[in-house]
Amino acid sequence: MASNYDVVIVGGGIGGLSLAAALAGKCTVALVEAEQTLAFHTSSRSARQLIPSYGPAVVQDLTVRTLEMLAERDAQAAEPILTPRGFMLVGDEDTVRAEASGNMHAITHDEAMQLCPALNPDSFTAAGLDNGSFGCNAPLLLEEHRQTAEAAGVDIITGAKVHSAQRLGSGWQLGAGTEGFQSGVVVNAAGAWADELAVISGVEKLGLQPYRRTAAIVNVENPLTPETPMLCAADDTFYFRAEGHQVLISPSETVPSGPEDAKPYPGDVEALINKLNTVTTLGIRSVDRAWTGLRTEAADGIPVVGFDAEAPGFFWLAGQGGYGFQTSSAIAELAAALILGEVSVDSPESRTAEQLAAVRWSIRR
Ligand SMILES: Cc1cc2nc3c(=O)[nH]c(=O)nc-3n(C[C@H](O)[C@H](O)[C@H](O)COP(=O)(O)OP(=O)(O)OC[C@H]3O[C@@H](n4cnc5c(N)ncnc54)[C@H](O)[C@@H]3O)c2cc1C
């Protein structure tokens, strides 16, 4: 006998969990996750930085709204989600200018060196700074969403991969492991597997592409101070930031992948360390741990949020790319309003809807 819900969310990463928390108490919800633990894939592998000047304009709007919501939450909480941490771009004039937008402003070479004395001064000629950027306590945010959802009666089922989904009357019937679910709405928050879930649901896929991105925590001879901004090469060849006495580094690669439990390729982290040991005075000595996650994007790089126009009750919450945390609260707010019928594609009434009107509300319109 299938359990019955208004909404079944498929995927227990930041996308699915933040929506579960936003819907909690407003309708009956189940969240179904294939892995035994929540946020096993990309959502536990991020760099934990929220950068208002990063991404296309609509992503920047979503980020500003998310930061506003998290700041409201922090004002009432004992432990903050947000910690101020600037974001600095370095490179040559043209590349920095091409990458800089929104909240990012140009700073002088001297200012850049003062903010990050670990840089080799000959390794860049231009710099930009986004001072409205924050570090994010991602594990706390994920855990709080889980608690909010469960406290309001959301059923969270782990270790249950959705293997079948079909239309049944005016809703959906899903099979996951040995369990069955019926719901009015199915939410596709399956990350790198979003297209795969569409296909098993008989819904046309959108061509969402997962891209590899590796990161590592390394031990260094000269630690960064906690105030040092996150440092990113404008030509996308590396970024790094302080992680206590250690440093988080990434080669910023964008290599296409299938949906999988991605792992670092041999040699990638070592090559990055060689590079960083020439463009900085960090003195990287050893690798503590390294990982790879998948950033999944639509062709235009804009998150896919809305009901599928050709599959009634099939809601996409995917394609967050490298912005899944920094857009999460705003996307969840918008998605919940759309699912509950509080705003519609054609008549965006709420402030959020107006702000986010450029998001593709509905697919294939
Ligand atoms: C190295 C790296 C650095 C990053 N840094 C940042 C950053 O600083 N700031 C930022 O905002 N973003 C960052 N990101 C991006 C961010 O991590 C992602 O956008 C976000 O985690 C995506 O969340 P998600 O919930 O869509 O996907 P996921 O976390 O992958 O969750 C999807 C879930 O769906 C489950 N699933 C799939 N198919 C099924 C099925 N059939 N049945 C049941 N469950 C299923 C999967 O098991 C998975 O747990 C980074 C990403 C990487 C890789």
Residues 193-205 pLDDT 10s:
999 999 999 999 9
Interacting residues of 69 by C-beta distance below 8 A, sequence separation 6+: 329, 330, 333
Judged against a pLDDT cut of 90, whether residue 1 lies above it is answered with no
Tell me, in angstroms, the distance from the centre of ligand 1 to residue 101's CA: 25
Count Cβ atoms below 10 Å from residue 38 Cβ, excluding itself.
Answer: 21
Give me the pLDDT at residue 354, please.
46
What is the per-residue pLDDT for 350? Answer: 45
**Which of the four pLDDT bands, split at 50, 70 and 90, describes residue 345?**
low
Non-local (6+) Cβ contacts of 274 within 8 A are none
Neighbours of 236 (CB within 10 A): 14
**Average of per-residue pLDDT values in the chain:** 93
- Of all residues in the chain, what percent carry a pLDDT higher than 90? 86
Helices marked H in 133-267: 138-151, 194-200
8 A C-beta contact, residue 13 and residue 324? yes
pLDDT at 348 over 50: no
- CB burial of 292-325 (b: ≥16 within 10 Å; e: otherwise) equals bbbbbbbeeebbbbbbbeebebbbbbbbbbbbbb
What is the residue extent of each domain of the chain?
3-45+138-208+300-362, 87-131+209-297
What's the pLDDT score for residue 208? 96
Q: Where is 115: in which H helix or E strand?
A: helix 109-115
From the CB of 145, is ligand 1 less than 6 Å away? no
Contact (CB, 8 A) for 126 and 136: no
In CATH terms, 87-131+209-297 corresponds, of 1.10.1200.10, 3.30.9.10, 3.40.190.10, 3.40.50.2000, to 3.30.9.10
From the alpha carbon of 291, which atom of ligand 1 is closest?
Answer: 1
* Statement: 3-45+138-208+300-362 belongs to CATH 3.50.50.60: yes
Q: What is the pLDDT of residue 353?
A: 46
**Which residue among 10, 18, 43, 314 has the greatest number of ligand 1 atoms within 8 angstroms of its CB, and so is best to mutate?**
43
Share of the chain above pLDDT 70, in %: 94
pLDDT of residue 346: 57
Mutate to test the pocket of ligand 1, among 35, 317, 325, 327 (most ligand atoms within 8 A of CB): 325
- Say how far apart CA 209 and CA 258 lie, in whole Å: 8
List the beta bridge partners of residue 317: 305
CA angle 15, 17, 19 (to 5 degrees): 70
CB environment 73-94: b (16+ within 10 A), e (fewer): ebeeeeebbbeebbbbbbbeee
Phi, psi of 120 (to 5 degrees): -70, 120
Measured distance CA(81)–CA(254) in Å, rounded: 28
User: Per-residue pLDDT tens for 128-153?
Assistant: 999 999 999 999 999 999 999 999 99
- Average pLDDT value for residue range 303-312: 90
What's the average model confidence in pLDDT over 75-98?
96
The minimum-distance atom of ligand 1 relative to the CA of 11 is 34
Q: Which amino acid is at 273?
A: I
Beta strands in 78-133 (DSSP E): 82-84, 87-91, 104-107, 126-130
CB of 47 within 6 A of ligand 1: the answer is yes
Confidence of residue 360 (pLDDT cuts 50, 70, 90): low
pLDDT recorded at residue 50: 98
pTM of this prediction exceeds 0.85: yes
